[in-house]
Amino acid sequence: MPILILQRLFLEIVLDIFYFPVWWYTKGALYALGRCFDLLKQGNTNLAPGLWLANIFIPMFGQYDVGGRIVSFFMRLVQIIARTFALFLWTAVCGLLFVAWLLAPVLVFYGVAYAI
């Protein structure tokens, strides 16, 4: 019985080693892409440039006079520009994370081969 168990374990290890690249670039890549989209949605929820854009003409702090409306408009305009830029950067970071996921095994195998 111990011989059969060791044979089965060895077979599983060998099969897992050969299946790893297939999984990494199919199911694993889809999972990583889904997580990157989740991060992107979370960034959009946190930064919310669309919400600021929807309220651009509503005065801040209940200041309905002309000066309050002008200050509120330009303040929200600056916020929209800054938050859109930050969301663009966050999108680039999420894209780089996904590319890093795809390149990780290649770089590891290259590092191992170069070290030998």
Residue 4 lies in a domain: no
Residue 49 lies in a domain: yes
Residue 62 scores a pLDDT above 90: no
Asked if 68 and 60 count as a contact pair (C-beta separation under 8 A), the reply is yes
Residue 10 lies in a domain: no
Q: What pLDDT sits at residue 94?
A: 96
Residue 7 lies in a domain: no
Query: What pTM did the predictor assign?
Result: 0.80
Residue-range definition of the domain harbouring residue 73:
22-115
Residue 79 lies in a domain: yes
Residue 72 scores a pLDDT above 90: yes
Mean pLDDT over residues 52-72, rounded? 91
Q: What pLDDT sits at residue 75?
A: 95
b/e 53-85 (16+ beta carbons within 10 angstroms → b): eeeeeebeeeeeeeeeeeebeeebeebbeebee
Q: Say if residue 116 is exposed, middle or buried (CB neighbours under 10 Å; 0-12, 13-18, 19+).
A: exposed
**Helix and strand element counts for the chain (H, E):** 4, 0
Residue 106 lies in a domain: yes
- For the segment 73-116, what is each residue's pLDDT rounded down to a tens digit? 999 999 999 999 999 999 999 999 999 999 999 999 999 999 88
What total of structural domains would you count in the chain?
1
Residue 53 scores a pLDDT above 90: yes
Residue 13 lies in a domain: no
Residue 16 lies in a domain: no
